[in-house]
Amino acid sequence: MPEYKVFYFNVKALGEPLRFLLSYGNLPFEDVRISRNDWPALKPSMPMNQLPCLEVNGKKVNQSLACCRFIAKDIKLAGNDDWENLQIDTVADTVNDFRLKIAVVSYEPDDEVKEKKLVTLNNEVIPFYLEKLDDIARENGGYLSLGRLTWADFYFAGIIDYLNYLAKQDLTANHENLRKVVDNVIGQSAVQDWINNRPHTDI
Amino acid sequence: MPEYKVFYFNVKALGEPLRFLLSYGNLPFEDVRISRNDWPALKPSMPMNQLPCLEVNGKKVNQSLACCRFIAKDIKLAGNDDWENLQIDTVADTVNDFRLKIAVVSYEPDDEVKEKKLVTLNNEVIPFYLEKLDDIARENGGYLSLGRLTWADFYFAGIIDYLNYLAKQDLTANHENLRKVVDNVIGQSAVQDWINNRPHTDI
């Protein structure tokens, strides 16, 4: 069995999909949480100076979506063929686009610019993505792809608390199919065990 | 053989990696170029209302990176195992991050905000990514991953004209290893044939 380490800050955010997947697959991992104070010294040792970083048998890799896809292959959360994998990849990238569109406004440092961009984000972008993603989840019976549990669901469920924090709203409150996606992931007993035992953090 | 169509605007940009890959693989495809006038009427028929869109045997899929990965599996430009695919995916996502960081500034509508963000982009972000990516290309002998031609090279070479346009500079001019990545793709005879016969567009 490969030796896994997840390097990230002491938050859920982009590290949590990796932690959910490893927990679900009963793949033991070291959950390395780096403090903001220690980060500047450690930063150059991480690929692209980024976190999260997954270490597999001593080799470090960045890019959380790519790492999720890799872990998923090992634990039957990937597709059964190239076409199925395309369906999963497409919706995972769509969730990631949604995250980026929220993040770019949320992290805008100029208050005046941010206020202006928040109008478009809240009135157009967020409703558009929620409606489309909820439709996809309804068509797939409470999953984001293939009508069954895949790593795309883990990506969404893993980052939802972080997305809600960035967007300052409960994004699944009025989208029951997306809520089902989250519930289908966090309802898995190994994920539930992880949630019950993980360090408590707000985001 | 699947029937492929690439739907995009009459530009290279995000459609060109798909066109390069299909050409390299000798996979015939319909190169559908949608005019800006026709786009509003066609938009609702595209997944997530987005272009580029790849159609495979009548089924439409968005997300160009996911589509590149799918085509690559068919034409020996993917990895030979999950670990190799992780290496390719990671660098392809890094190139995509680089694109997004340039695009978000380039498309900023407010001139004053844009001027401010251009300083960080040009002094910090672009030099950082170019140095890191050039290091990766040097370590891989003129490729972005695995020391051989993969779809990550096609993604980079396909979007480079567009990136140069957005960044208002020749990004590979002082980065010979990244230049080699581009040359290793456009030097493939089937890609060269495509380039010689494609519609001429600036970006």
d(CA A14, CA A89) in angstroms, rounded, equals: 17
CB pairs under 8 A between A and B: 68
* C-alpha Rg value of chain A to the nearest Å: 17
Nearest CA in chain B to A71: B82
How large is the average pLDDT for residues B86-93? Answer: 98
Q: What is the CATH number of domain A4-76+189-197?
A: 3.40.30.10
Q: 10 Å Cβ neighbour count for B145?
A: 25
Chain B neighbors of A65, CB-CB under 8 A: 89, 93
Domain(s) labelled CATH 3.40.30.10 in chain A stretch across 4-76+189-197
| CATH H superfamily, domain B4-75+189-197 | Glutaredoxin (3.40.30.10)
Q: Do B63 and A104 touch (CB under 8 A)?
A: no
Q: In this model, does residue B194 exceed pLDDT 90?
A: yes
- Measure A196 CA to nearest chain B CA, in Å: 30
Q: Do B66 and A74 touch (CB under 8 A)?
A: no
Domain(s) labelled CATH 3.40.30.10 in chain B stretch across 4-75+189-197
Q: Is the ipTM of this complex over 0.95?
A: yes
pLDDT band at A1 (very low <50, low <70, confident <90, very high): confident
Chain A neighbors of B57, CB-CB under 8 A: none
Residues of chain B with pLDDT > 70: what percent? 100
Domain(s) labelled CATH 1.20.1050.10 in chain B stretch across 82-186
Q: What is the CATH number of domain A82-186?
A: 1.20.1050.10
Nearest CA in chain A to B91: A63
| pLDDT computed for residue B8 by the predictor | 98
Residue pLDDT, tens place only, B90-106: 999 999 999 999 999 99
Residue B124 CA from chain centroid, whole number: 22
Is A163 buried (19+), middle (13-18) or exposed (0-12) by CB count in 10 A?
A: buried
Q: What tokens appear for B24 in the block?
A: 């390299």
| pLDDT computed for residue B170 by the predictor | 98
Residue pLDDT, tens place only, A111-160: 999 999 999 999 999 999 999 999 999 999 999 999 999 999 999 999 99
